[in-house]
Structures are given as structure tokens and as C-alpha cells.
Chains A and B, each alone.
Chain A
Amino acid sequence: MALQSLDITARSATTTPSPGVRETQKVAKLIDVSKCIGCKACQVACMEWNDLRDEIGTNHGVYDNPLDLTDKSWTVMRFSEVEVEQGKLEWLIRKDGCMHCADPGCLKACPAPGAIVQYSNGIVDFHEENCIGCGYCITGCPFNIPRISKKDSKAYKCTLCSDRVSVGMEPACVKTCPTGALVFGSKEDMIQHAEERIVDLKSRGYKNAGLYDPPGVGGTHVMYVLQHADQPQIYNDLPKDPQISLLVELWKGVLKPIMSLGLGLAALTGFLHYVTVGPKETEDD
């Protein structure tokens, strides 16, 4: 879903430039895990703004609810109890959802023109009306984010409230966060804000505090401040060095153009053979 149309940087399965005369500022959402209390107000705000009601699930004996992202739950809090050092238990709560990669694997893998777009502000958005339900975006995503609806076979994920951002508002989750763990602004400002937070965390003993803005996917427009940035995997398997899978790069980066060309050349070779060498005829024909 989107209201914007003149500021598209990239469009899935499209080989010509997309409408992009309007330049917008790069934005980012910063999630400060050290300030998060796990209240799930962001989850509520997300379903409220996007007008989505997931099915009422069951209690699995953990705080995570729902247990995973779904086509209707575009963000979930993931709770991990980690003994970071001997005798020092920490409750690490990570708000999971689309990271809005600068180099989005979903967009690279998508075969449907215009089903996935990236705006010049960095938001990666799904346009479900163009989605064909093939699931390639799931294959392409290094963070396991897109979910296909059982109801309509379309892929859904966090939009970073592209509709709100396009009219100058912050995402609904940020608006509602009671502790200031979520902040939103230009990517530049968010990096600066994160630096200040990291200085503070370091002064309080978190010597490995740092910013999660993984370069393997060109950086992300959703970033984390982590108390233990040296081991992101303890935050419920946040990947340490996420990248678009080599298989996906091979498939969409190498095989796609080469094999398409190969088929054309094979047909052309046949034609040239016929007009130069000629047919095989039996003597009496």
C-alpha cells in the first residue's frame, strides 16, 4: 500500500527507471533495545493503524504473543532470557519486523513487476495488488520477514507506515512507544542519536554496546541499538552479518540474464544453421 509514486528508487521485475523525480530524505526507525520494556504497545499501534486483527492464538508459555510474524502481525516482540555473563541474567526484548534493507533481497527476487517498491526515503513496500503469491520474496529476504496470507495468497509485511511517513508523520509504533525506545527521523539523525545512546550505555558498563545497521544488505532503515552488538544472535537469532543469500544472487544476478540470453542464442544458432548448411533430405525427396 502506498500513496507515493514520484519517488520510487527501485521497482521489482522492472528493467527501466521508475518514476523518481521527487527526492526524499532517507529515513530510519531506531529501536533502542536497552529502553524497551516489552509492553507491546507498538504491536497494538501497528494493528490499529493498519486496521488488522490477527486471530486470537493460544498461550505457549512464553511472553511472545503471537509467537511469530504473520500476514496480519507485522511486528512482534521477541523475548530472550540470556545469561550474558556468569550469574548475570538479562532479559533482551527485540521488536522484530521488516528491516527495510537498502539492498532488499525480497525486491531482487520478486518476479512480479511493481509488487515490491523501494522509495527514495528508503522504505521498502509491498504493493499487494501486483503480488502473484509465488513466495520468492521469502526466498530473497535475509531476515525471514514476509508472510503469505492464507486468505488471499498475497505477501505482507511492515510498511514502515509508508502512508503516514509520506504525509510527514512518524510510524504508528513510534508514535505510541511509551519509553522512547522507538524513535524515527532522518537516517543521519538516527545514527547520531544512536551514537549518544551507545556512549551512555558504555558508561554504564555495556562495553560492547553498538548500532546494528548491517552493511551486508547496504545498511537498513530500521536499526537497533544493542547492549551486546558483538553478538546480535543472542537477540533471538538476529543475524550477525545478514546478506542476500549467494544462491539468490546466483539465481537473480547471474543465471537470470545469462540463461535468458542463452536460450535466444540457441534459437538463433538453429536458424543460422538452417540458412547456411540447410536441411537433411533423403535422396529421393
Chain B
Amino acid sequence: MNENDLIERYHPADRANHWLTAITFILLALSGLALFHPAFFFLSHLFGGGPWMRILHPFIGIVMAVSFYFLAHRFFADNLMTAADWQWVRQIRDVITNHDERLPEVGRFNAGQKLLFWVMIATMLLLLLSGIVIWQPWFAPWFSIGLNRMAVVIHSVSAFGLMLGIIVHIYAAYWVRGTIRGMTRGVVPRAWAKHHHPGWYREVNKGAK
């Protein structure tokens, strides 16, 4: 068994689902920032100008919500926090300083990935609900102005939380070498799996025998 042999980490359907969510997220983040702060308003040109951006943003949001629903379904069972995961969180210093040898054994996903999963579930739900309330011209007039005010605040705070989470997610994928290929081509080297996700690697080997 060669250390550089590749093993499958994500099915093609996992990858398609992940990237549909990712692309819609990027589009939503760019248009959302343009609607949030004048420093980003120039991004509205990417969507054909302000009115087109305002029209498209909520529809793209619905696509992301549906896509993420399936993604959450796919990865739900692998994202439940365990006692070892909380230990991992307490040793976040070792994680950040690359002292991986001191960390408890990691399964298919590490605690950072799992926490991102839960942050995404919470923020996506809030974004969907508050987004419907402020959706002009279709739904916003149904709701009181007071509720609209609450919804814009919830929408912007949860968008901030999600964007922060995704910044960490993107950086971590780059930081932990070999990770990106897992999601683009679906495969990772055995050495990568053994090092970063030993618990998962054992499971995969058990199945292979």
C-alpha cells in the first residue's frame, strides 16, 4: 500500500452539491456586501447594476438554501460533536501552531469543520427566514415595518457570522495542504488521511478489506 495512493473522500454528488452551495454563497456574499456598505457597492456591477442585483439576490438565496439543505443532509451524521472533539477545541492552540501530534484522534471531520457545519445550519436558517421578510417587492409588504427592521438586523448579523465562518473554511482548506483536491477531484492521498483524519482512515481501510 503506497502512501501516495489516492482514496476517495467525497462522491461526485457531494462535490457537485458543495460547489453549487459555494458558488451561490459567493454570489450572495458579493451582492450582500454591496447592499450593506457603500464601499462594496461597486460589486453591484457584477450583477448588471443595483436593481438587477436586488432582484437576483433573493432568488440565488433560495438556490443556496435548497442546495445547503441537501448538503446538510449528506454530512449530518458525520458532524455530531464528540467528547474528543471538545478536547480538540480546548487544544485550539496546538491546532493553530501545527502541533497535530498532540491532538486527539480526528474522524471524518475535525471539530473545526463540525462547528462550521453548525454555524452554517444556524445562520442559513436565520438568513432564509429574515430574507423572506425583507424580500421586495414580494413578501416585505406582508410584514410590519417593525418586523422588517428586526429582519434586516438579523440578516446582516447572520450573514456576517456565515462569511466569517467561510473565510475560516476557505483559509483552512488552503492551510491544510492536500485538502482542496479532496473537494475538487474527490480524492486524497493515504498519507493525508492518516495524518489529518486517522479515525476516518481506519474506517475506510476496514471497509476495503
Contacts and interface: CB of A to CB of B under 8 A. Distances in A.
B164 A139 contact: no
Given A132-B54, A148-B137, A280 B164 contact: no
A131 B39 CA distance: 17
Q: Tell me the interface secondary structure of chain B in the complex.
A: helix
A280 B196 contact: yes
A257 B160 CA distance: 12
Given A133-B137, A139-B152, A255-B156, A282 B38 contact: no
A250 B98 CA distance: 39
20 contacts: A14-B38, A113-B41, A130-B50, A131-B51, A133-B54, A135-B148, A139-B152, A148-B137, A248-B149, A251-B149, A251-B153, A255-B160, A259-B36, A259-B160, A260-B39, A260-B40, A263-B164, A267-B167, A273-B175, A282-B194
A283 B195 contact: yes
B178 interface: yes
A139 B167 contact: no
Contacts, number: 132
B192 A282 contact: yes
B152 A251 contact: yes
A248 B145 CA distance: 11
Contacts of B164: 262-263, 266
A279 B156 contact: no
A282 B195 contact: yes
Interface in A256-285: 256-257, 259-260, 262-263, 266-267, 270, 273-274, 277-285
Interface string B139-163: 0110001101110110011001001
A134 interface: yes
B140 A266 contact: no
Interface in B61-88: none
Interface of B: 3-4, 33-41, 44, 50-51, 53-54, 96-98, 100, 134, 136-137, 140-141, 145-146, 148-150, 152-153, 156-157, 160, 163-164, 167-168, 171, 174-178, 189, 191-192, 194-196
A273 B4 contact: no
Nearest to B176: A280
B171 A270 contact: yes
A270 B152 contact: no
A279 B177 contact: yes
Contacts of B196: 280, 282
A259 B100 CA distance: 32
A247, A248, A283: which has the most chain B beta carbons within 10 Å?
A: A247
Nearest to A251: B153
A280 B100 CA distance: 9
A279 B176 contact: yes
Contacts of A88: none
A5 to B, nearest CB: 19
A215 to B, nearest CB: 21
Given A251-B156, A277-B97, A132 B191 contact: no
Contact of B157 (A255, A283, A284): A255
Nearest to B36: A256
A6 B39 CA distance: 24
A18 interface: no
A135 B136 contact: yes
Contact of A266 (B38, B168, B192): B168
A270 to B, nearest CB: 4
B35 A111 contact: yes
A217 B97 CA distance: 52
Interface in A11-56: 13-15
A176 interface: no
B165 to A, nearest CB: 10
A165 B141 CA distance: 33
